[in-house]
Structure 1
Amino acid sequence: MLDTLIQSKTRLKLLLRFFLNPDSSAYLRGLAQEFDESTNSVRVELNRFEEAGLIAGHKEGNKIVYKVNTKFPMFGELQKIAFKHFGIDQIIEQVVQKLGDVNAVYLTGDLARGLDTSIVDVTIIGKNIDSTYLTKLVAKAEDLIGRKIRTLVYQPSEVFEIEQPRLLIFGDEKY
């Protein structure tokens, strides 16, 4: 739906890239390669975002590295829009609230990098998670968002390492 509202595909990709994972940063050529776009089209949109205050650029060596401005007045709303675009809000609503004793939920993989993808990787940490029920909830969420969801489930007592980059979308960062 966002592609109907935002005509520039490059602008939409940048919006999603920066607002899905506000801890990520990127530079012009890297973004152009990632999006398979010309550096000029990416530069134009980066300049617009920077002028509006959505992102900030700083020099690192001979590159300008861009990062989202989390102090931007509409940061929270724009991040919610990015989450809704990928159906993350539906995943949380369908999976977390009805699943049981969930301590944390992380988004990992390409989506955590801010890349548009048809597969949503989710890591859940919790006690006594009913895997059969989780499978049913994931199927419902997949129908709602039109994307495939891959899940990993860990007990809080287990020793595990969550893939980087990761984005906490529910719960406590200590997991």
Structure 2
Amino acid sequence: MKMASPMLLPLLRSRSQGDILAVIMLDPQRERSLSEIAEETGTSVSTVVREVDRLEEGGLVATKRRGNTRLVRAVTDSVVYKPLADLLAVTFGPAAVLRKALAEVPGIERAFIYGSWAARYAQRAGPVPDDIDLLVIGEPDRHVLADAVAEAESVLRREVNVRRVSTQAWVAGNGSFKQTVLSRPVVDVIGTHHE
């Protein structure tokens, strides 16, 4: 079954293609193995291999072997790198960029994107959102969290609206906010959905 082009960037063939490109292009200093890219994007290794092969043929990524492992990195001196990275940052970037920014923030049990960006990611029609809604569950230090979010905002070029809820309040809560958020698409950034 052929998948529709992604709502976030209909120029691409698939959401997997956008996720793979975002992970590689928005963290260009890091070399990743094909299996790391597959894990980060929730995509099969065979899909990653196909996409990386295309990207390498087009001069957008470079690969090298370390033993049996094929490592991938963005080619940043290409004339198309900067415009492509800019486009990915405002379309597929939020999940990849926030995942990286929040990974080092202690006290986060779970974080996910909800609202209009998550809806577009789930193929619900509409324009690319102007901001990102992020729910953080846990007890992270407010200042450390704010610094991480500010770093992500500079890459994403848009505001990230953070709602912070303690783990206890989230687990105990059955209010309308929680019900509304969980009745619509969410995109996990830290932790996974168990509701």
Q: TM-score range by the shorter chain?
A: 0.5 to 0.7
Deviation at 1:149, TM superposition (A): 7.6
- Unpaired runs of 5+ residues, structure 1, are 89-106, 120-142, 155-161, 171-175
Correspondence for 2:33: 27
Matches within 5 A, 1:59-70: 59-70=65-76
Deviation at 1:109, TM superposition (A): 4.7
More strand per residue: 1
Measured at CA, do residues 59 and 167 of structure 1 come closer, stay the same or move farther in structure 2, by a change above 3 Å?
Answer: farther
**Do structure 1's residue 53 and structure 2's residue 39 form an aligned pair?**
no
Name whichever of 64-73 and 26-35 sits farther off: 26-35
SS for the counterpart of 2:17 is helix
User: Which AA in structure 2 matches 1:145?
Assistant: D
User: Which AA in structure 2 matches 1:69?
Assistant: V
Correspondence for 2:99: 110
Measured at CA, do residues 169 and 11 of structure 1 come closer, stay the same or move farther in structure 2, by a change above 3 Å?
Answer: same
Offset from partner CA, 1:90-134 (integer Å, 9 cap, x none)? xxxxxxxxxxxxxxxxx9751459xxx628xxxxxxxxxxxxxxx
Tell me how many residue pairs correspond in the alignment: 117
Deviation at 1:34, TM superposition (A): 2.4
Q: Which of 119, 137, 147 is the aligned partner of 2:133?
A: 147
Q: With the length of structure 1 as denominator, give the TM-score of the two structures.
A: 0.53
RMSD: 3.4
Correspondence for 1:11: 17
- 8 Å contact 2:23–2:37 — kept in the other structure? no
Deviation at 1:83, TM superposition (A): 2.0
Give the share of equivalent positions with the same residue, in percent.
22
Correspondence for 1:101: none
